[in-house]
Chains A and B, each alone.
Chain A
Amino acid sequence: MNMFWSRHSHRPEHARPSGAALDQAAGSSSVPAALKARDLTVGYRQGTRTRVVNRGLNLCLRRGTLAALLGPNGAGKSTLMRTLAGLQPPLAGEVWLDGRPMRALSANELARNLAVVLTDRVDAGYMSAYALAALGRYPYTSWDGRLSAEDEAIIQEAMRAARCESLAARMASELSDGERQRVMLARALAQQTPIILLDEPTAFLDLPRRIEIMHLLRDLAHNTGRAFLISTHDLELALRFADELWLMAADGAFSVGAPDEVSARGDLLRAFAAEGDEVQRYLQGIHR
């Protein structure tokens, strides 16, 4: 595996645009927002009954940024991710992609704007890693799904960017969890979207693989100008690698900021306030 970036594993010196709540960001920042939401209410609707998971969310995800959504289980991270990915409709409010309401986009337009890597089981059977990554071209191919030489060049470039080109000929069913995660990331990159959402990309991975994938995501965000949003339980890795933290507390409180800001404000402790003394003491120890 290519480890060239393990030589400089410190946070980059160059300043990232520090993320902030939508209110102060809208006009002030020169970095355009790839994804925005105002007064977003997420949850589930079954028949006439609704179950609100979180309400009044104001979000802004900028290009060139790696944002990490953190919070205890049950705070609604998955529901928010699914809503932002367009996999379920919001109960109220609107998600905007590049200034256009998500609701107004066709399935194909949405797929050209936003790609996802989910925790869903991928049972690809007889399929090479290359063919798996090639599925990312779906929104661009004609009715029969034929790939042009240009499509293939884009897929190969995506696999190089996700550092998994050496896996191309392997069968997808034979890949390890970490390898498959990279191939799925390559597939998302091949989809050529300004926004990529990853649901718990570090779950099931051992520590070296988790560090590698976080590093890779940050590099991709900074070098390709795409916006990445991940949901994760890896607090320490998120503090170290993410440009921006989105904290979701069990009581529904939501706060956004650069890792330093967020921990300086005490938001980190607040997000996990319901978790008891051991957790609080641990969090106080992590980031000073």
Chain B
Amino acid sequence: MNLSLPQAGQASDRLASPFPALGMRRPMWLALIALVAAAFVASLALGAVRIPLDEVLRTLAGGQASKDTWQTIVLTFRLPKAITALLAGAALGVAGLQMQTLFRNPLADPFVLGISSGASLGVALMVLGGAAVSASVFGRTAFLGEFGLVTAAALGAAAIFVVVLTIARQVQSVVTLLVLGLMIGYLTGAVVSLLIYFSIPEQVAAYVNWTFGSFGGVTWQQMRVFAPALLIGLAAALAGVKPLNALLLGENYARSMGVNVRAARWWVTASASLLTGAVTAFCGPIAFLGVAVPHLCRALFATNDHRVLMPAVILLGGALALVFDLIAQMPGARFTLPINVVTAALGAPIVLWVILRRQSFARV
């Protein structure tokens, strides 16, 4: 994607011209990229064990750290976790941006389609209902393994994914999709409540633990599925960036400007669902990043142009996920906060601030 920067000669012409430059300023990009790099390295160096920066960089470069434990901590635990946070933050930011534009609603988030509700249902069925149904066949311990959780969540998300995409191709109005997502949420909520009601406390605790979210659960083996899924989703989102700008004016205008609205809607829904489904399956339902990051990017770059917002959301979403995860570990402390506590506690004030600020200058 070309993020055309104004050339030196053009810039001076702009001063005399009444027409503002379109696109993005270079310093902002460099700042964002620097932020991502800094957050990434920091998340490898900081934590319960503090590892010197040069040791981290040496390990990353393929060298040998001066302590074997450091080597193990960086390569086995922190590196997959940092990559997971980076990708998940980017994915949720992108899916949130897509949903906010598709539904023309500033409060839309990646979860409005109901994909993550499907994932929750999958996990609930396995953790809570699994014992009753299949304890005799498999035995519960095998079922509660990490990959089992991911499989259950992925199956649940995939089931809803198929439903949503089938319907997205047929519905006249995008509002139908919104209502569909909402109803899926209620339905899965009902089933989950029912399962909780008949479960023993240990099972409920295991389920609740999943809903807290975590970037730490993705092993290198799982990364082979997680990373490609998210990279495909992000590429699809970037490839579908053009109709989003036209959709800002509503579907009628978009159609009049040559957008195949149904195809665009399907593409956006499919890529957002893939991103949300994969993140929820591997990390649990991570709250607020999806709704907060697009708002932050609009405010930071003062634009609605998705050609700017999409890469900005990828970078800032990844950086914020890394920073939030660092805060969750509270370097030096003996325990780790659930990631959703941090994203919600910091995300909610951000969304509030943006909405209130927007109200103050919106003129009706």
Determine whether B249 belongs to the interface, using a CB cutoff of 8 Å to chain A.
yes
Q: How far is the CA of A118 from the CA of B2 in the complex (A)?
A: 31
Contacts of A110 in B (CB 8 A): 258
Q: How far is the CA of A131 from the CA of B362 in the complex (A)?
A: 18
Contacts of A130 in B (CB 8 A): 19-20, 22
Determine whether B140 belongs to the interface, using a CB cutoff of 8 Å to chain A.
no
Q: Judging by beta carbons under 8 Å apart, are B305 and A139 in contact?
A: no
Query: A134-B22, A145-B242, A169-B19 known; A127 and B258 CB under 8 Å?
Result: no
Q: How far is the CA of A65 from the CA of B280 in the complex (A)?
A: 57
Determine whether A143 belongs to the interface, using a CB cutoff of 8 Å to chain B.
yes
Q: Judging by beta carbons under 8 Å apart, are A107 and B260 in contact?
A: yes
Contacts of A169 in B (CB 8 A): 18-20
Determine whether A114 belongs to the interface, using a CB cutoff of 8 Å to chain B.
yes
Determine whether A11 belongs to the interface, using a CB cutoff of 8 Å to chain B.
no
Contacts of B255 in A (CB 8 A): 86-87, 107
Q: Judging by beta carbons under 8 Å apart, are B250 and A138 in contact?
A: no
Q: Judging by beta carbons under 8 Å apart, are B302 and A126 in contact?
A: yes
Q: Judging by beta carbons under 8 Å apart, are A108 and B307 in contact?
A: no
Query: A112-B258, A146-B4 known; A126 and B303 CB under 8 Å?
Result: yes
Determine whether A283 belongs to the interface, using a CB cutoff of 8 Å to chain B.
no
Q: Give the interface residue-count category, chain A.
A: 35 or more
Query: In chain B, residues 184-212, which have Cβ atoms closer than 8 Å to a Cβ of chain A?
Result: none
Q: How far is the CA of A120 from the CA of B104 in the complex (A)?
A: 13
Query: A143-B242, A144-B2, A173-B362 known; A168 and B20 CB under 8 Å?
Result: yes
B79 to chain A, nearest CB (A): 32
**Given B242, B245, B298, which contacts A125 in the complex, CB threshold below 8 Å?**
B298
Q: How far is the CA of A130 from the CA of B361 in the complex (A)?
A: 19
Q: Judging by beta carbons under 8 Å apart, are B250 and A121 in contact?
A: yes
Q: Judging by beta carbons under 8 Å apart, are A126 and B256 in contact?
A: no
Q: Judging by beta carbons under 8 Å apart, are B257 and A152 in contact?
A: no
Contacts of B292 in A (CB 8 A): none
**Given B19, B104, B361, which contacts A123 in the complex, CB threshold below 8 Å?**
B104
Q: Judging by beta carbons under 8 Å apart, are B253 and A126 in contact?
A: no
Contacts of B104 in A (CB 8 A): 123
CB nearest to B248 among chain A residues: A124
Return the CB mask of B100-121 against A: 1 if under 8 Å, else 0.
0000100000000000000000
Q: Judging by beta carbons under 8 Å apart, are A125 and B250 in contact?
A: no
Count chain A CB atoms within 10 A of each CB in B2, B239, B245, B250 and give the residue with the most. B245
Q: Judging by beta carbons under 8 Å apart, are B242 and A141 in contact?
A: yes
Query: In chain A, residues 139-184, which have Cβ atoms closer than 8 Å to a Cβ of chain B?
Result: 139, 141, 143-147, 152, 155-156, 159, 165-166, 168-169, 173-174
Count chain A CB atoms within 10 A of each CB in B4, B249, B250, B361 and give the residue with the most. B249
Q: Judging by beta carbons under 8 Å apart, are B241 and A144 in contact?
A: yes
Q: Judging by beta carbons under 8 Å apart, are B303 and A127 in contact?
A: yes
Q: How far is the CA of A120 from the CA of B249 in the complex (A)?
A: 8
Q: Judging by beta carbons under 8 Å apart, are B248 and A127 in contact?
A: yes
Query: A134-B22, A156-B19, A174-B363 known; A145 and B307 CB under 8 Å?
Result: yes
Determine whether B304 belongs to the interface, using a CB cutoff of 8 Å to chain A.
yes
**Given B19, B241, B299, which contacts A165 in the complex, CB threshold below 8 Å?**
B19
Q: Judging by beta carbons under 8 Å apart, are B258 and A107 in contact?
A: yes
Q: How far is the CA of A134 from the CA of B18 in the complex (A)?
A: 14
B267 to chain A, nearest CB (A): 12
Q: How far is the CA of A209 from the CA of B62 in the complex (A)?
A: 69
Q: Judging by beta carbons under 8 Å apart, are A136 and B252 in contact?
A: no
Determine whether B341 belongs to the interface, using a CB cutoff of 8 Å to chain A.
no
B62 to chain A, nearest CB (A): 36
Q: Judging by beta carbons under 8 Å apart, are A126 and B298 in contact?
A: yes
Q: How far is the CA of A39 from the CA of B2 in the complex (A)?
A: 48
Query: A124-B249, A144-B1 known; A139 and B18 CB under 8 Å?
Result: no
CB nearest to B246 among chain A residues: A138
Count chain A CB atoms within 10 A of each CB in B2, B22, B358 and give the residue with the most. B22
B317 to chain A, nearest CB (A): 18
CB nearest to B2 among chain A residues: A146
Query: In chain B, residues 8-38, which have Cβ atoms closer than 8 Å to a Cβ of chain A?
Result: 18-20, 22
Count chain B CB atoms within 10 A of each CB in A108, A128, A145 and give the residue with the most. A145
A128 to chain B, nearest CB (A): 5
Q: How far is the CA of A131 from the CA of B245 in the complex (A)?
A: 10
Q: How far is the CA of A279 from the CA of B338 in the complex (A)?
A: 70
Determine whether B83 belongs to the interface, using a CB cutoff of 8 Å to chain A.
no
Query: A144-B1, A173-B362, A174-B363 known; A87 and B252 CB under 8 Å?
Result: yes
Determine whether B259 belongs to the interface, using a CB cutoff of 8 Å to chain A.
yes
Contacts of A126 in B (CB 8 A): 298-299, 302-304
Count chain A CB atoms within 10 A of each CB in B256, B302, B363 and give the residue with the most. B256
B314 to chain A, nearest CB (A): 15
Contacts of A235 in B (CB 8 A): none
Q: A124-B304, A125-B298, A144-B2 are in contact. List 19 more A-B contacts (CB 8 A).
A: A86-B255, A86-B256, A87-B255, A107-B258, A107-B259, A112-B258, A114-B256, A115-B256, A125-B248, A126-B303, A131-B20, A131-B303, A131-B304, A135-B249, A136-B257, A139-B257, A144-B1, A168-B19, A168-B20
Q: Could you write out 16 A-B pairs with CB less than 8 Å apart? A: A87-B255, A107-B259, A111-B257, A116-B252, A116-B253, A120-B252, A123-B248, A126-B304, A130-B19, A131-B304, A139-B258, A143-B242, A144-B242, A145-B245, A173-B362, A174-B363
Q: Which 8 A-B pairs have the closest CB atoms?
A: A111-B258, A145-B242, A139-B258, A138-B257, A108-B258, A127-B304, A169-B20, A116-B256
Q: Hey, which bits of chain A sit against chain B, CB under 8 A?
A: 85-87, 107-108, 110-112, 114-116, 118, 120-128, 130-131, 134-136, 138-139, 141, 143-147, 152, 155-156, 159, 165-166, 168-169, 173-174, 191
